[in-house]
A and B are shown apart, each in its own frame.
Chain A
């Protein structure tokens, strides 16, 4: 769990972050470091604050305490938003009657980069086609997004996150509604992006069993950060890790997800 890296190697640095929506803290004293090139699996039960943590990272929510740096820059000064791709948990709960083609949706991923008063150039369009190709949706380029299946829509949103060539890709439960075969393909694709293209990845998932074959690091969250380390350390102690993190729901949860869970180190 390398804490002291060079600043330039740091993609995400969170220090003593606490956050509450109303009166109760949903995140407390989180300190987390994600180095360049990591593929982090972020797990935890429902309501444990995973999505909230990501929203803090992206500046959608502002934590009451603590500070965040992205690519070595404090969040307040950070401006390189086009370096970050994000697929939110609600990505496919958009208004499904919206008349937009796959091409149009994916090109949105470039809008931040293009800037005001400018339009898509040939080069941009080429990038869009490539991103669609990457998620194997080329056959649907000019189809309305509302006419696709849930899993296909999810792929389109991933393409949108990829199209700007991000250095960091944050995916909040991207495989919900994606079939088993496609999930494996999808994880393989992520691993490729991570290893061959050097993209740093943060993947939120409940699918702990499948995830451990692909990620390099695991973080377990339940209001507090209970564990953060490399995948081997995680799997070694995995079976003892259950109960504190998942509490009494652990049996139900593990039942649903083959084998899973995290532990609170007794330290």
Chain B
């Protein structure tokens, strides 16, 4: 069943990319969830779309941009927006979540303007909205691999700092954890992971891959490390089963992956009912 994925290049790219994203999204998602930032993923994914639309628009007018992978500008926009969100969160200290709808709507607004400026690339955009894992190119694959390495390396190296700052910021600062650096890097990394994941599940579903496996993991795990382990296992099961099932049943891969993740969540909720988290 799964062997067909290794007979064709495009399917192999799809599978490998899926495996990377199935690891990366929930891995980072644990921090997003415990820092109560899961909605930021949503805002940033929409801004990523804006960047992609902008790149496609430029591609119509300047030959320079035709060869460029739109994901680069998408990631660039997403990183820029993440920095803006961080800024806004510091402005509205007591209403930190306000930054999210502001950036989300500004992003969508701008995206819609770009799209209307150059109608005709709706097909391309559609594949970014809902993901299109089978059209993953070698260039996508390389970019996503680089992001995976960079992000995993960062999280492992700064695990202590990330963990302490997420749990108890004041104490962490007293102990000398570099709050500012970690906070900025973290939000940039979120932007990168979103750009990486959207090829697989699409913009509309990116945040689900970062949060649903974590939601399941938190029902079962004892402690922080275990939460990562469960979240990554659930993420990988969702992606691999989802990809294989969607290929054989001819379903949309992104949606199928997310439905598997939801199914896992329902099962864990069922087996842990009565417990509070």
Write the residues of chain A forming the contact surface with B, with a CB cutoff of 8 angstroms.
Answer: 58-60, 81-82, 84, 86, 88, 90-91, 94-95, 97-101, 103-105, 108-109, 111-112, 114, 116-117, 119, 142-144, 146, 160
Least distance between B196 CB and chain A CB atoms (Å) = 24
User: Cβ of A86 and Cβ of B174 under 8 Å apart?
Assistant: yes
List 23 A-B pairs, Cβ < 8 Å. A58-B174, A81-B175, A95-B34, A95-B36, A97-B218, A97-B277, A99-B34, A99-B218, A99-B227, A100-B223, A100-B224, A101-B222, A103-B223, A104-B223, A104-B224, A108-B168, A108-B171, A108-B172, A112-B174, A116-B161, A143-B222, A144-B223, A146-B277
Write the residues of chain B forming the contact surface with A, with a CB cutoff of 8 angstroms.
Answer: 34, 36, 157-161, 163-164, 166-168, 170-177, 217-218, 221-227, 277
Least distance between A75 CB and chain B CB atoms (Å) = 12
Least distance between A163 CB and chain B CB atoms (Å) = 11
Choose one: B36, B175, B225; the contact of A112 (CB below 8 Å): B175
- Our count of residue pairs bridging A and B at CB distance below 8 angstroms stands at 82
User: Chain A residue with minimal CB distance to B173?
Assistant: A60
Choose one: B161, B176, B226; the contact of A81 (CB below 8 Å): B176
Given A99-B34, A108-B163, A111-B160, verify A60-B170 contact (CB < 8 Å). Answer: yes
Residues of A within 8 A of B175 (CB): 81-82, 108-109, 111-112
Q: Using A98-B224, A108-B160 as known contacts, list a sample of 5 further A-B pairs with CB atoms less than 8 Å apart, ordered by residue number in A.
A: A91-B168, A99-B221, A104-B163, A119-B159, A144-B222
User: Cβ of A98 and Cβ of B174 under 8 Å apart?
Assistant: no
- C-alpha gap A123/B177 in the complex (Å): 22
Given A95-B34, A112-B176, A117-B157, verify A86-B171 contact (CB < 8 Å). Answer: yes
User: Cβ of A88 and Cβ of B170 under 8 Å apart?
Assistant: yes
User: Cβ of A81 and Cβ of B222 under 8 Å apart?
Assistant: no
User: Chain B residue with minimal CB distance to A100?
Assistant: B224
- C-alpha gap A31/B41 in the complex (Å): 49
Least distance between B48 CB and chain A CB atoms (Å) = 28
User: Cβ of A81 and Cβ of B174 under 8 Å apart?
Assistant: yes
- C-alpha gap A23/B173 in the complex (Å): 26
Residues of B within 8 A of A112 (CB): 174-177
Least distance between B247 CB and chain A CB atoms (Å) = 34
- C-alpha gap A158/B189 in the complex (Å): 34
Residues of B within 8 A of A100 (CB): 163, 167, 223-224
- C-alpha gap A153/B95 in the complex (Å): 28
Residues of B within 8 A of A116 (CB): 157-158, 161
User: Cβ of B223 and Cβ of A142 under 8 Å apart?
Assistant: yes
